[in-house]
Structures are given as C-alpha cells and as structure tokens.
Structure 1
C-alpha cells in the first residue's frame, strides 16, 4: 500500500472551515425561523448553499491536505457532484430544523438521511481521484465513518433546532455548539480517509485531466471564507436592522404610551384636563382643606346659547367655538387653578385657597370673557355662560357632592336669566333632586305606558274644515298629573330618551290613523315632530317605512315635521333623508320656518310639502311691521315654490284675519282648537273653527 501523509496547515484550515460551516448553519436556521413567505425561502436557499459549501470545503481541504508519493488530481464533474450532495443535504437539514416540532422519530430519520448525504459527499469526493486500481476501503472503518456521520448529523440537527431562535444570548451558545459540530464533522472525514487504502503502483488518472490540487486548496479556502463571511455579514446586518427597527418601535411605543397617558387625563378637543384629572385634583384639594381647615371654590359652567349655534351652523363650527371658549377661560384663570372640560359645553374650574369674595371676582372675569363676541369661520357668534359656585368643603366634603352642588347652583343661575353666577344653597339641592327623580320617572314612563298623544287640528284658512292634525306628546305622570312637553322633552334630549320616545310617538300616531280609517271617522293627515337627534338617526328611513307597513297606513297620511335648524345642520345629509322620505310618499313639513339660517338655494332643493311659520312671528304680527313683512315674504316664497304655508300659534281673530289675507293655506292655534285626546277630536271636527279662545 502507498503511504500517505497530511499537510498540518491544511488540516488546521479544514477544522476551522468545519467550525465556521457549523456556525453558519446555526445562524441560518435562526434566520429562516424568524422569516416568512418569500423571505424565508430566500434564506433557506442562501443558507443551504453557504452551509453546503462550508461542509464540502472542509471535506475537500482535508483531501487536499492528504498527499501520496504520486501526483493527485480531481475529476471536476465528480467534484461538483459531491458539492451538490453537500448543498442538498444542507437544504434538507435547514428545512427540518425550522419546523414547528422535531419529534424523536423525525430526528432519527433526519439524522440517517443527512448522515448518508454527508458520507455520500465524502466518498463521492474520494471517487473524484479516479485511482487505478481503485481505492480499497477498510470495512470496519468505513462503517464507523458512516456511524459518525449519522451521529454527528443527529447532534447537529438537535443543536440547530434548540438554538434556532434569534437573540443575543444565543450567539455564545452557537459558537460553542459550532466547535463541537466542527470536531464531529472533521472526525467523520478523517475516519473515512483512514478507511481508504491505495495499492502499490496506483495511479491517479485525474492528475493529468482533472483539477490540480496546488492552487485548488487556496481557491476553495478563499471562496468558502468569502461566501460564509457574506452570509454571516448579511445575517448580522439583518439583526442590526431589526434591532434598529425594534429601538424605533420601542421609542414609538413609549411616545404612544405617553400620548395615551395624556389623552386619558385631558380632553381631546380643547386639551384641557378632563373629568378624571379634575376629580383627582378635587380629591387632593378636599384632603388639604380637611387637614388645614381652609376652603376653596368649585365653579361649574354651562354655555348659554351653544345648542342654538351647534344646530344652526353644525358640529364643526360648534367644536371650533368650544376651542375658543377654552382658550378664553384659560387666559382668565390663575396658573394654579384647574380648568377642566367635563361635558359637551360644560366646564369646571377648581380655584384653591379662595373665599366667596375672590370667587365672585373670578366669576365676573369669566362672564366677561365669554360674553365678548366670537369670530368662528367668519360667523359673529354671541353666547354667555351660567356659573354655579360651591364653596368646599362646606358645600361638599366629597368629590361627588361638591360637583353635584356646583351643578345645582349653575342650573339656578340659568333659571334666574342666565349670564350670571350663583352660589350654592341647600334649597337648590331639593330642586336638583326633583330633576333627577323626574329623569328616573321618565325612563320608566315608556314601560308603564304613561305617555299619551293629544292632537291639535289644522284648519283651512280662515274657518275650516280640518285639513290635518299635529300629534303632540303628553306625560300622564302617576303623581304629578299631566306634564307638558316643555318640561320633559329637554330632559329626554339630555338623557338620550328622546329616541325611544320619538319612536313611540310615530308608532302611536300611525296606530291612531289606522283606527280612524277603519272606523271611517276621518281621512286626516297626521303630523309628527322629529327631534334633531331622531332626525340624524341612521335608521330613521327604515323606521318610518316599517311603522307605516306595520299599521297598513298609506304614506300620504303622514307628515314628518323637521325644524329648520335641524334640516340645515348638515344640508347634504338632510337632503338625502328628506328625499328618501318624500319618495316613500311621506309629506315633509319645515317647522319654525324663519327662525334659522336657511339658504334659499337649499330651500329650493328640499322636497318640502309645507312651511310652518313660527309662532314668534305670529304673536307680534299686528304690532310689528318687520314680523308682518317676514310672514308676507315667507307666504310669497311658498306660493312661488308651490309649497303650502301653515301658520301656528294663532290666538286672536286679528291674527287669523291678517294671516288669511296674506294667503296662508292653513291655520293652527288655540283660537281654532286646542290639543285634545283622539276621542275628543271627532266632536271638534263637526264644529266650525271657533272665533275666540276656548
């Protein structure tokens, strides 16, 4: 047998390349695990090539380190085949360790397949020598090399699976594992080399035709180092990119948390403290007052006239007005005061260490600040505020009590004429309790069937007959008797109960129409008022359609009354809603016409059947030339557009005659007929319109 020898430097290089290949495989497994889709496939392809090239290079450098007393060379095609086997085995290994689980059966099967692949790569590479006569293998050592390949593959797969998740602490573990894996791979290679025997007189036929090993060793080392260096560099750069993104995300999250913390304690529109922050500071102020015996003022403010602005110009103008109000209030208070927005147009001011005299001065300053005109989007707006003041802790030793008593004082200021301030008195609490009780009773009124409808007739001018009726809701309170809408409708709008109440009114009116039609009593049209809240409800059209269908009422028997300000709040949306109702066959009436801010251009587009002149114009008709001119213009406008004109609030014969002379189509008011239950309406319909107030 020919005696071979090894180049120690190349043997060392083969070990270093084996360790580098093992580390690269571990890095690639971690990279593939964190990627998805096309990116994962790219990492798998690149990782398989880098890992396969590394393992094959270790094997080939180890072969180049071996020399015989004859010239050696390598068949290029067989050499490339051995490289292909290494890349394919690496791809299989990376795919296997990137699965969700690696049970024992799959690990053993994978180790066998990969081990055979590594052994196949090695012995295919040996075949590239093309020895004559052929290489003689020692069977025990040959078998041992395959066992080592399978065992090394099992260790490599298990290690790669365990260390596949990317993190900084994994890198030292991967380095240690790479050394162990590298030694196992080298052990398999040199065991396989030891199994090879070269008979005396052997020739390497590839020495003259194949690749010369002298320059091939250097080339392989350079290429392998370059490929693995590129792969590892890309992996490290990717880590750097992810760390940069994570750092940026962490900063963004910190900023978002800070913003959320701010928003949790401040009003989004005005940037003032909200109720949560106010109550916290109020609790602190009460605690200090209890400990040192001091007092402070708590002011509850509600804007007078804000709802009118909101209805007339829309919520955008209303929001901008609130921002300007907040700015003015903030400029009128001291640095250590707490000004908060606690509701739509409600503000609260906490004034520490201030008595009644100081609170009076501050309240006057706030009234003056809000009383000055506002310029919002070119609109000259004038509002005021009503201020209720509670001196704490005397007027409230608890947060809830202090706020409730300041609120009660504010309502008292409103009842005194608004644009004023008022200090809390115990008697105000009783009034507020009555309001709270009335609100609770109203919630139960629908369930207890306490609401009733009265109907006020409309007469053809001047003396009839009745052309229709308007449905007006009343509350038959079990203890307080009949309550008019002026007393409970504002409560319903404030609490949101106006929507179910409005649905009940529509349903009951249609039911009554059906009853009249079935009994042959009349063929009247019934008008139902819609509140601005109900008019803007997204299911309004469906509600009207379903209610008419449920009671089998022809839509021509129903008139929907909408106030001018509600219709003009969002003109385009109103046009869509009113057009849908009109196409359904329902009549449209614009109520309180002349009090809002209608544009004639929009009025022309509204599918209105009638205009109702507000009672405010009718009241002073005989004594106010301006009111008479407005009514005359509205009548002329309606006739030009083909719209009926209804005048409400007719209470005197003079008003009736004047309106008839102007050309009003229908009249409605106490002079002609008061609202009455449906049962009393039949008798009224058989009488001519009365000429005096009944």
Structure 2
C-alpha cells in the first residue's frame, strides 16, 4: 500500500502506508510470548512472581528460586515471610514497609527489599531485590492477588550503602564521623525535648598522642587511634554513639543518662582503660585522656550549646592536669578566659622574674634527718596570685614553653643546691616532653657546670610516661644521663601502668611511692599498706631507694617507717619553701625536721567559706558553708535548729541536697546528707542530680539550660506559707535577724 503525497504525473511520490503495514503484521502467539519471557528470566534480566488473594506466593521464576534453600517450599509461603523492607544503608528506613503496601493493596514500584534467603547471616551474603507489582482484580472487582517482577540489586545496594557509610563514618576507626554525630545529636535533642528526656555528651581528647606520632610515626599513630576506638566500644553503655571528630578527638553521646555519679564512674573507667599500655609494631606506647562532660537539658538545650559546654569542660580537664574528667559548670567560661590569659603571661613570666623555685625536704623515715630537697616551681602571678604548677605546667606543655621552663628550673635548682652544706641532693622534675629532647643531656651538663654542683647531688625525677615513646630512643637517653653521673628517680610509682620490664631496663636509683597509696594506709580494710610493702620489697631487691610522698598524719608516718620506706616527704615535716627559708634552717646546723601534724589521717574534707541557701518548708535562709564532704556539711548562721530537722541545702546551679541536722550548737549545725555527693572531677563535689529544666518550665519558667546562681522552684511551689521557724544570724558581724 502507498500514499500519494501530492503533485501530478511523474512528480507523484509514493511511500509505504505504515498503518496498513501494521495491520498486515501477524500477532505474537502465546507460545512466542512465553518463550520471550523465559529468555528474560533465564538471562536474569528480570524475574516474575505472583500471589493469591491471601498473599501466598503462587509463582516465582526459576532463577529467583535459586537464592532460597532447595529444601524450602517457597511456593505457598506468605510474601511477607520472604522479604523485608530495605533501609537506606544508615539504619534509618526511608521506604514504606512492604507489609503496609500489601495490606493497602497498593501498587508497588521499585521497592527495595531484603531477601530472607539461605546463608544471609553475614552482611556480604545478604541479597537485595527491587520488586514491582500491580494488584489484580477479577471482573467483579474482587482482589485476586499480585502479579509482578523482581530484579537483583545487591551490587547497587552495597555500593549505595558503602557510599553512605563513607559519608557518615570515619574511614580509619569505623566510628561515626563529625557529620553523623552532629546529625544524631540534633535529632536526639529535638526528640528528647518533647519527651522530656536527658542526654549526656562526653568530649575526649588524647593526652600525649602527638608524642606517639612524632616518635613512632604516623602509621603507628593511626594504629593507636584504631585501638583506642576498640577500647571505647567495649566500655561505653549499649545504645551510645561513639564518634571520632578528627585527629585525636572523640565524642560519646549517651542517651537517657543524667546521673553524674554514674557518668563520673564511666569517665574514670574510660581514663583507666585508655591509659593502659598499647603494643604497636613491637613498641610500647602509653597515652592518657581528658574528658569533658555536659548533660542536656541541664547544660544546654540546643546541640551547639551542649557541644560548647562539653568543650569547655574538656578544656578545664586538660588545664587541671590531664588524665581527669570535668563536668560543665557556669564558671568554666571565665576559667577558659583565665587559661588563655595565663598562657599569654607565661611567655613573659621568666623574663619578668615571676617564677621561683621552692624546696620540700625528703627526710629519713626513722631518724628524720634531711637527705635532700625536691625542687618545685612556683609562679606568683601579678593579677591572679599564686598559680598551681598543676595549672601552668600543662599549659606550658601545650604551648611549647616546657623546654624553656625546664632548662630554667634545672639551672636555678643547681645554683641553689650548690649553697647547701654537705652533700644534700636536689631533685628536679623532668617532663616527658623534655625527656625526648636531644638537648636534655647538654642542658643538664651546663646547669651542673655553671653551678659547680657535683653530678651525684642532682636527681632527675621522671614519670612512667617517658616509656610511651620509641624504646631505642628512650634507652639511649637513659645511657646519656647515666654517663653524666646524675641520679634517676621514678616518680609517682604505681599510678600509671608500672612494668618490671622498664624498671629492669632503666638505671633508676630511687622509686617514689605516690601519695594516693599513703592516704588511708592505716585504715582497716585498706590495701594500700600491702601495695606499699610490695613496692618497697621490689625496690630493695633492685638496689633502689624508696621515698613515700604526701605523708601528713602521725599514724601515716609511723606506718611508713614500720614498712621500712627509706625516706618521707610531706606536710608533716614541711611544705615546699623558698631558698631563703632552706638556708636559714640549714644555717643553724640542725639537719633534723620535727614532724608536726594530726594524730590520725582524716578523710578528705573541703574547708569552704561561702554563702549558700538553706530551705526549710517555704523559707530560704542564707548561711555560711564551712565544711563539705561527700556525706555531710557544717553550716553557720541559724539558731534554734533542733537535731533531726529536715533541711534542703542549695549548692547552686540546681543542686539541691536533702539533709538532716545531726548536731546543733549555737549558730552551727552539722548536716548529714540523704544521698552522698559525688566527685566533680576537679577535686570538688557535686550532686548526682539537679533540678530539671523541664520541671522549671512546667512551673512557668522558660525552657533553658540551668543558669548560674542559687535558686529552687519558683514561688508558689513550696507548699502553704508558714512563719519562719529559725533565727538567722550574720556570723561575720554578730548580728541576728528573723528569717
């Protein structure tokens, strides 16, 4: 058939009539159609399936059947028993469940499903399909089942999953990365605000990690980070999310946790575990960690608030001496500013003459004759006053000032010791960062030479952290120092992870027993005495001298002497004093120190002098807090308070302590706490729980993190109004007034 497109005669053009050609084509018969479908199935281009009205499988392509166990009778099973809806690879489903689509008899289009097939236990054996189907109805519009197709998308799904994982997880450790942690924290805090739930955030920073990188190399540093991540995963509670934010910084998000006692215990376990030695490519490495802790909603409602709070707490933990944790508190903002100012001023402190060496005597444990002095650096800041070495030494290490400070300390200590009579030794602390410096032997030699001090009178105190670096370099440094003739002491023995291997390797002359073992060594049930005995026996077997640090009470001194420690240091004999005081003492010719101290060791009790609020019924009284311990406190400022009275002590920032008056005399009361306080990580104490911002919001206050200051519930929430029961007095002025 042809069509005439116009014109006349020879100009007429005739073309095939396409519609007529189609009409003349023969239709494909059922046999050919079936053969074509079989070819598609055999090639694996697509498979076909069908169900009945009850959702039972009535047909499945032979190729698709091969993924199931041959003994399994797939035909006749419910479709839901064969598949489950897939996820997007991050653990968060985005597609509607297959069961929902089937129940609604909806059309199914490219629905990813996980095939519940044979050998699908391991992730690499899981099979993924994409299924498409239409519901079928008979002429009476009655549903008769589904007819559909399926195709294997396992490879595509794995690629998508891996791509998603790369965007969400750290490639080195396998932990969540910063992007995922921020997204999870935002989603969690948003949901928890509605549900009035809490969430703790820990920020961890590895101490001395840079030294591992510098001494052992970056591959060793990478391996160390992997091992740290494995230790974290073993300790953190189930349901927590751990992330590596980059470098040596980690983050842990712990849902439904606001008990600061439990969080403090967890932080201590993390510090202990991470500080355990690492074996890396045949080398031994020792690091530590500092931890900052913030809790929503108390310390922040929004993610950025909580992150900033945990950062400030971490900053404070590092500034407090490292290897410790800190909870966030409102005063940390000011502390962070102070630390930055201290760092700037420390650079000029040497030239301005603000640094000074003080000396604490080390005496014979039995005769109390002085054998030497430990040199301790002191800094009297013109604005902040005396600043503890525990504060400015870590700052010096972070800002690369420690070498300059260390050199000055060695030079000054040698000059001062050269003026002492006899052959008294002077002990100088050497930081791990100083120890790895190639210039240390030269610095020591110059200090001795310039002062005219014999090398045998200088003792270098070294902590166990020096063994975390390259073994060969460490051994070489010990050999160089030994050749100079100086003595070597292992400081704070027993607080790290003491190894007989490096005690045998290093030429130590002395082991210093840390004060944490001395504290409470006389108490029944305390194992410290046994530990001290073991250390002394070990030292004696290796021809080393022992010094017990931190002795403060007469019973401790008696016990240490009984256990045969060679020397003692502590407040019981003297605090660290300036050179002038040392020369005055030694100038008298008296080389013996008399012990002065309490008869018995007392549990740590913080002596405070600050005003706090006490609540009784619906009245607030202002009192002076004199002493504070875990189990109680002493207050002054109220009279006529009977023993047995129930009070609430307001320590500020939502910290309310229910307590009972157990002693009352004049304007002084002794309080016993209903629930003991816990460590705040900085040597202080805090409550396990605080007033919830959700509770304050329900009482009409805005939902926000707890502000600074003393407060409790808003007015109108303290019960019926009653007259004041007690007389409040101003103990500083001696006046009295009714509460």
TM-score bracket, normalised by the shorter chain, equals 0.3 to 0.5
Q: Which has the higher helix share?
A: 1
| Structure showing the higher strand proportion among its residues | 2
* TM-score normalised by L of structure 2: 0.45
TM-score using structure 1 length: 0.47
**Higher relative contact order (CA closer than 8 Å, sequence separation 6+):** 1
